[in-house]
């Protein structure tokens, strides 16, 4: 495979074979070698072969092997002749992150942190397949999937101002619950407000360092501040939707005469019945995921009230932002000097819209959209802001996290979960996990260095550093 170094943070795979556009990977030399070893670059090349793709098949520095598309993959397709692919979104549709701030300086409340982490672990249901205390009726699930976070707020799970700090105002338009199967519905009925397992977490953090004072002020962030980060998605409902449409799309691709380089890239023309149906079902899962995180936010606020004996409003427990990193969206971008509507797939990649962009929330439009990048539970996470260069370089996209370097099975073989828990607690990180075996899957050494990943995005102009957050307490499934 030929690789061309365009600059220290961007590499190109020139067009070859059936590729319609080049592949481009934002990485340094070390991360490029790792991507080559695990065949993720082959997936970048495969995506470049799909009909209607424009500009390039892209990958972020947290790239690693995924289903069809590499995780960290970004690709945009023309509406006319382009495709939409479940593999370009992922099984955990609209998996994403939200960051909550408080007005609490950590040095003043550090003695209460263990009790707070325990209360959060008591209030937030976590674990594989575990449901919560909300059991929806079918009509309520329909309303949730079409209304998004507004549904949750109307039922007392949050405040109306939360909507101003959620991507798309908390609701992706175009959802059609009639396209969600009975099996997918059944899996989602009791899962709003639940964490799940895998790499999902709720984390209590301290703002360790501020890099951009103007943006930090706009986001309401200050040094030594106590924050809470939530990372979860659409749970069983989204997984089932993806599973079913991967099967449907295989036939659709064949009927459309699309020669797939990989069966996992099953897709359909955007403007076909199958394309429309997938998008409408996917939008249901997007809205479900956002409601899931919204109900969890309500549980976080209740936990703080229980520990600090004060209303969450008085504690300043406000939402900075919520955004998804597994989604396909219709957006306008400039390609070759022409403004056009595209279907942008981001799989393990995050929107990064700059100051002045109409889709950047009004409250942040002067500095840029908040970008939230979780790391591993032993090091750090980052708050960044959208950058102008991302609009031309990556369809307004940046990384979504540290990115795995070790599979879950390998991590469980190599890492002792009990020892890991002791190690983290020796670092001052309180850990609550469903099992130490599951904890081992998410060990810090299973991930890339988030500092390096963020550094590459910053220097490549995809997103710019605002603040660094260090974990104090972790809740895992």
Asked if 401 contacts 450 with a C-beta cutoff of 8 angstroms, the reply is yes
Contact residues for 263 (Cβ-Cβ < 8 A; gap 6+): 250
pLDDT tens, the chain, 477 aa long: 789 999 999 999 999 999 999 999 999 998 888 878 878 999 999 999 999 999 999 999 999 999 999 999 999 999 999 999 999 999 999 999 999 999 999 999 999 999 999 999 999 988 777 777 888 999 999 999 999 999 999 999 999 999 999 999 999 999 999 999 999 999 999 999 999 888 899 999 999 999 999 999 999 999 999 999 999 999 999 999 999 999 999 899 999 999 999 999 999 999 999 999 999 999 999 999 999 999 999 999 999 999 999 999 999 999 999 999 999 999 999 999 999 999 999 999 999 999 999 999 999 999 999 999 999 888 999 999 999 999 999 999 999 999 888 888 888 888 988 899 999 999 999 999 878 888 888 888 889 899 999 999 999 999 999 999 999 999 987
Among candidates 86, 16, 20, 95, which has minimal Cα distance to 52?
20
Among candidates 71, 152, 100, which has minimal Cα distance to 370?
100
Q: Can you give the length of the chain in residues? A: 477
Q: Which two tokens stand for residue 228?
A: 């809470």
Query: Which pLDDT value is given to residue 130?
Result: 74
Contact residues for 4 (Cβ-Cβ < 8 A; gap 6+): 11, 12, 13, 14
Q: Where are the domains of the chain?
A: 4-405+447-476
In angstroms, rounded to a whole number, what is the distance separating the alpha carbons of residues 86 and 95? 14
In angstroms, rounded to a whole number, what is the distance separating the alpha carbons of residues 473 and 432? 8
Beta-carbon-side half-sphere exposure of residue 369 (alpha carbons within 13 Å): 32
Instruction: Give the DSSP letter of residue 447.
Output: B
Contact residues for 121 (Cβ-Cβ < 8 A; gap 6+): 432, 475
Q: Which two tokens stand for residue 409?
A: 């099975």
Asked if 439 contacts 418 with a C-beta cutoff of 8 angstroms, the reply is no
Q: Is 418 an active-site residue?
A: no
Helix segments in 137-234, DSSP class H: 138-147, 149-154, 182-188, 213-219
Right CATH for 4-405+447-476 from 1.10.3720.10, 3.90.1150.10, 3.30.160.100, 3.90.1860.10 = 3.90.1860.10
Dump the DSSP string for 192-220: TT---STT-EEEEEEEEEES-HHHHHHHT
Contact residues for 221 (Cβ-Cβ < 8 A; gap 6+): 101, 207, 210, 227, 320, 383, 466, 467
Asked if 146 contacts 251 with a C-beta cutoff of 8 angstroms, the reply is no
Q: Which two tokens stand for residue 374?
A: 């979780």
In angstroms, rounded to a whole number, what is the distance separating the alpha carbons of residues 434 and 450? 25
Catalytic residue, candidates 200, 239, 298, 400:
400
In angstroms, rounded to a whole number, what is the distance separating the alpha carbons of residues 332 and 324? 18
The pTM of the full predicted model, rounded to 2 decimals, is: 0.96
Query: Which pLDDT value is given to residue 30?
Result: 87
Query: Which pLDDT value is given to residue 126?
Result: 85
In angstroms, rounded to a whole number, what is the distance separating the alpha carbons of residues 179 and 477? 30
Asked if 434 contacts 440 with a C-beta cutoff of 8 angstroms, the reply is no
Asked if 430 contacts 117 with a C-beta cutoff of 8 angstroms, the reply is yes
Burial environment of residue 343 by CB neighbours within 10 A (0 to 12, 13 to 18, 19 or more): buried
Asked if 353 contacts 386 with a C-beta cutoff of 8 angstroms, the reply is yes
In angstroms, rounded to a whole number, what is the distance separating the alpha carbons of residues 55 and 459? 21
- Kind and range of the H or E run holding 75: strand 71-78
């Amino acid at each position: 495979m030929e690789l061309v170094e365009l600059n220290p943070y961007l590499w190109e795979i020139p067009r070859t074979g059936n590729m319609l556009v080049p592949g481009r990977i934002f990485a340094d030399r070390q991360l490029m070698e790792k991507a080559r070893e695990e065949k993720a670059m082959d997936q970048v090349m495969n995506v470049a072969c799909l009909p209607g793709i424009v500009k390039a098949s892209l990958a972020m520095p947290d790239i690693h092997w995924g289903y069809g598309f590499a995780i960290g993959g970004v690709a945009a397709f023309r509406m006319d002749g382009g495709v939409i692919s479940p593999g370009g979104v992922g099984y955990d549709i609209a998996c994403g992150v939200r960051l909550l701030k408080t007005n609490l300086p950590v040095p003043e409340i550090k003695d209460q942190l263990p009790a707070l982490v325990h209360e959060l672990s008591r209030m937030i249901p976590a674990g594989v397949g575990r449901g919560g205390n909300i059991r929806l009726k079918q009509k309520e699930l329909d309303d949730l999937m079409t209304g998004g976070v507004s549904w949750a707020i109307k039922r007392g799970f949050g405040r109306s101002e939360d909507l101003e700090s959620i991507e798309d105002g908390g609701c992706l338009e175009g959802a059609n619950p009639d396209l969600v199967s009975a099996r997918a519905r059944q899996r989602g009925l009791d899962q709003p407000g639940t964490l799940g397992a895998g790499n999902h977490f709720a984390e209590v953090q301290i703002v360790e360092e501020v890099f951009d004072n103007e943006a930090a002020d706009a986001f309401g962030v200050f040094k030594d501040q106590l924050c809470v980060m939530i990372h979860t998605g659409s749970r069983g409902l989204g997984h089932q939707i993806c599973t079913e449409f991967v099967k449907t799309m295989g036939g659709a691709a064949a009927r459309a005469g699309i020669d797939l380089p990989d069966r996992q890239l099953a897709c359909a023309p955007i403007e076909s019945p199958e394309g429309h149906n997938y998008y409408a079902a996917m939008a249901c899962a997007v809205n479900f995921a956002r409601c899931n995180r919204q109900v969890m936010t309500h549980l976080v606020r209740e936990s703080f009230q229980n520990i600090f004996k004060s209303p969450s409003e008085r504690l300043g427990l406000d939402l900075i932002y919520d955004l998804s990193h597994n989604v396909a969206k219709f957006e306008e971008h400039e390609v070759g000097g022409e403004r056009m509507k595209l279907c942008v797939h981001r799989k393990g990649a995050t929107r990064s819209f700059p100051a002045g962009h109409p889709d950047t929330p009004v409250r942040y439009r002067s500095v840029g959209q908040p970008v939230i990048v979780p790391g591993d539970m032993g090091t750090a996470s980052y708050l960044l802001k959208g950058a102008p260069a991302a609009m031309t370089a990556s369809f307004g996209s940046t990384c979504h996290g540290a990115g795995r370097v070790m599979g879950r099975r390998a991590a469980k073989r190599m890492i002792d979960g009990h020892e890991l828990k002791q190690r983290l607690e020796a670092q001052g990180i309180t850990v609550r996990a469903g099992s130490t075996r599951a904890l081992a899957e998410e060990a810090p050494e299973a991930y890339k260095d988030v500092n390096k990943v963020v550094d590459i995005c910053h220097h490549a102009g995809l997103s710019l550093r605002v603040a660094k957050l260090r974990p104090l307490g972790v809740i895992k499934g």
